[in-house]
């Protein structure tokens, strides 16, 4: 089937899986809003960056790990 349509076998398999799971080959939803995963740690990060403005991202991560 993949050769008939000139597509890769893996692509044909994914199309078949999509059809069998949803009875549709329509594309899934794209985009949308993403959850801000660092929001709960914002206050900590801002405080550390105010204390040490030249702190690198690695340094900030290390401080966060130590704080627990």
Using one digit for the tens of pLDDT, what is the confidence trace for 24-62?
A: 989 888 888 888 998 999 999 999 999 999 999 999 999
Domain ranges of the chain: 2-26+38-67
In the structure, what pLDDT confidence band is assigned to residue 17 with cuts at 50, 70 and 90?
A: very high
Q: What is the pLDDT of residue 1?
A: 78
Q: Sign (positive/negative) of CA torsion 51, 36, 33, 28?
A: positive
Contact 2, 12 (CB under 8 A): yes
pLDDT at 10 over 90: yes
Instruction: Annotate 47-64 with b (16+ C-beta within 10 A) or e (fewer).
Output: ebeeeeeebeeeebeebe
Q: Can you give the pTM of this predicted structure?
A: 0.48
What pLDDT does 33 receive?
A: 87
């Amino acid at each position: 089937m993949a050769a008939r349509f000139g597509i890769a076998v893996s692509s044909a398999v994914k199309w078949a899986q999509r059809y069998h799971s949803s009875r549709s080959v329509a594309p899934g939803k794209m985009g949308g809003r993403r959850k801000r995963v660092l929001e709960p740690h914002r206050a900590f990060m801002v405080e550390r960056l105010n204390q040490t403005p030249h702190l690198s991202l690695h340094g900030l991560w290390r401080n966060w790990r130590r704080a627990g």
